[in-house]
Amino acid sequence: MKKLYLIATFLISWNLYGQGLPGLGAGTTPNNKPILHGKNWVAITGKPLAATAGASIFQQGGNAVDAACAMIAATSTMWDVLSWGGETQALIYNPHTKKVIAINALGYAPTGATVEYYKSQGMDYPPQFGPLAATTPGTPGGIMTMLAEYGTMSLEQILKPSMDLAKGYPLEAQTANAMEAQKARIKQWPYSKKIFLPHLGEEREAPEVGEIFVQDDLYETLSKMVQAEKEALAAGKSRKEAIYAAYDRFYKGDIAKEIVRGTREQGGLFTESDLANWKVKIEEPLHVNYKGIDVYKLQEWTQGPALLQSLNILENFDLKSMGYNSANYINTVYQAMSLAFADRDFYYGDPAYVDSPMEGLLSKDYAKDRAKLIGDINDPKIGPGDPYPYQNGTNPYSDILKKNQQGIAALNPEDFNQELDPKFIQDFQSGTTSVETADAEGWVVSVTPSGGWIPAVVAGNTGVGLSQRMQSFVLDENLNPYNLPEPGKRPRVTLTPSLAMKDGKPFLAFAVQGGDSQDQNLLQLFLNVVEFGMDIQEATEAANFNSYQMQSSFGDHEIRPGAIVLREDTPSWITKELAGRGYKIELWNKTSGPLNAIWFDWKHGSFWGGSSDYGDDYGIAW
């Protein structure tokens, strides 16, 4: 018996940390969750009830866009680390045009939100919380635009699950306990207090776990949107026109007026014109080819291109021969990410306002030269490069770049030994959720909606929690001259859905929550599948590593050079070798996400869904 146990232990260890054993088929490694197999559709997101909302839309005949819209609405209603005043961004594969489409439904900075204003308030960065942290609401517009342009159902149909939830649903532990933990800050804002703390004066002032959580104001807001759609349909408008009538009521009508009134009452900067002038953008995504696979990400108003840069750099190495999560592999991928994220931290910003050098940053030649900087020992002083020569240009911020590089070079050794304290981790990995859907017609949707997480300022009597995304701007041009706040400008955010195509067909749709760690986890999931042949559930549960050698996009925007988190079952010889290579190591019991993904099995005409065992994420397929 002992001999059999030792053999089994060896097999599992080898499969997790080596090349895997030849001849073992997909699914031989025991997973904590089953693979989701579906022929007709698949729906995966951050909460079981929200996945059920998507399933109900599919069962009524909706397509993957309809289901995704219903799931975003449901997760927003459930405060799954977001709310209705947050932001939505998506990648959509349209099977009729054979193209990937990007949806930019990120709110922008309101009137008066300037560098000078925030500095006049004694701030080094825009605040993490409160009305001055809020960009304009983006999620309602994102849902309605996606639905109108690419869906098939009415707004009333896709809002029904969320309206049912607003009438009352049993609150899960994650959200209930977040309300209780944040109650001191919630009490600062009267409309938030009214919703989140129904038991004021008692020992526990937030709802209990399993208590029916009711949101009357939000239900009324959603009802007004549906009413606007119904009135437009009754007047002879088309399905699409009726949805945009609801859009106008939210951004230009009585809902907008109450959002502005309630926000300004609590110290915010919103004006009615801020909401009326904001628009959802349908954009061309960015992409690179990695070993025959086209990987798509949103533009540089997100951190998504950092994953593309990382892939370009890693193409210069034989990752498979290194072995999955070997010391060489971890060291190489860690430094590739450090190089890409250093460029993110300096160059990325809203392309409507700044001209980031994306051609140079995504150049294969630039990546080849950046790859030469990767050594056997981690370099904690990796900084941004200069991509302008790779697009036949001259860097307009060369003086600022030099100051930035000098500042990094001047860091002291003690700056590399700071603890990964709970506040830093919470700021760095501030959550969101993800939504992944696909259907038999060929539609594929990957979304990372976010913003308005607890503790959120609720905008008056609308039930709409406001975004906290202004904090992702910086106020010092020496950090990033492309990402300084001004009215109408979108901050550079961490939100980053992913979609990969192979042989002209969808190959992988994948997303994850987790702030600045998102494109680290997504990169490793992609490599798990492409380089190491893992099935999609293995890839979502596999042991990732997380780097903190990039500037946090939240809070005080701190950085921890050389810090790395490994899963606690990483072999001791690997942790010892990495420590010798200059890494400061922490061990966690889970490091895999929470990742959600869909792999497309074209051989058998089916979907494989994966959802990591990290949090509450859940999927349904049929």
Phi, psi of 162 (to 5 degrees): -70, -35
- How far apart are alpha carbons 378 and 48 in whole angstroms? 40
Per-residue b/e over 250-266, b at no fewer than 16 CB within 10 Å?
A: bbebebbebbbbbbbeb
Q: What pLDDT score does 15 carry?
A: 38
Q: What pLDDT score does 241 carry?
A: 98
Asked if residue 546 is part of any domain, the answer here is: no
Asked if residue 328 is part of any domain, the answer here is: yes
Do β-strands 498-502 and 505-512 pair in parallel, antiparallel, or remain unpaired?
antiparallel
3-state SS of 201-270?
Answer: CCCCCCCCCCCEECCHHHHHHHHHHHHHHHHHHHCCCCHHHHHHHHHHHHHHCHHHHHHHHHHHHCCCCC
Asked if residue 372 is part of any domain, the answer here is: yes
Peptide bond into 594 cis (omega under 30): yes
pTM: 0.94
| CATH at 319 | 1.10.246.130
Q: What pLDDT score does 140 carry?
A: 98
Question: Structure tokens of 45?
Answer: 């997101």
Asked if residue 447 is part of any domain, the answer here is: no
Close Cβ partners of 603 (under 8 Å, ≥ 6 residues apart): none
**In 3-state terms, what secondary structure has residue 56?**
helix
- How far apart are alpha carbons 321 and 328 in whole angstroms? 10
DSSP conformational letter for 85? B
Q: What pLDDT score does 614 carry?
A: 83
Asked if residue 200 is part of any domain, the answer here is: no
Q: What pLDDT score does 234 carry?
A: 98
**In 3-state terms, what secondary structure has residue 12?**
helix
Could you tell me which of 448, 424, 458, 454 has the C-alpha nearest to residue 550?
424
Q: How many domains does the chain fold into?
A: 1
Domain, as residue range, for 366: 305-415
Asked if residue 469 is part of any domain, the answer here is: no
User: Please, where are the H alpha helices in 295-326?
Assistant: 305-314, 319-322
- Give the residues of the chain that fall short of pLDDT 70: 1-30, 413-418, 426-431
Asked if residue 35 is part of any domain, the answer here is: no
Q: What is the mean pLDDT of the chain?
A: 92
Element holding 574 (H helix, E strand): helix 572-580
**In 3-state terms, what secondary structure has residue 433?**
coil
Q: Position 104: which residue type?
A: N
CA atoms within a 13 Å half-sphere pointing along the CA-CB vector of 408: 26
Asked if residue 333 is part of any domain, the answer here is: yes
Are 174 and 123 within 8 A, CB to CB?
Answer: no
- How far apart are alpha carbons 509 and 609 in whole angstroms? 9
- How far apart are alpha carbons 340 and 346 in whole angstroms? 10
- 194 to each of 198, 215, 597, how far by Cα in Å? 7, 10, 37
